[in-house]
Amino acid sequence: MFTCTQASGRRTLELPDAFEDLTGVISADLKVIVTALGQRAGERLLLSPSQRLQLQRTLWNNVIEAINQTMEPLSVERQ
């Protein structure tokens, strides 16, 4: 199970300027995915509401971090 840790803030998607118009669409899709995974885990693993929210926060932050790090080299400023 998940342990309660200091709640970290929710990260934001930071795409390079060439992809900025996709930020809203990608964020909305990720919200649906993270919510569905959190709900299913909550049902199957009998997580408490706070554990489910912590799982969703962790999923969100990790996915956003992976996208931001992967897309960062594509930024015009870095080329």
- Residue 77 pLDDT class (50, 70, 90 cuts): low
Please, which contacts does 36-45 make with residues 24 or more away whose CB atoms are closer than 8 Å? Answer: 45/1
Segment 56-70 mean pLDDT: 97
> Would you say residue 6 has pLDDT above 50?
no
Q: Is the pTM of this model over 0.75?
A: yes
DSSP 8-state assignment for residue 75:
-
Q: Tell me what the pLDDT averaged over the chain comes to.
A: 89
Number of other CB atoms surrounding residue 52 within 10 Å? 21
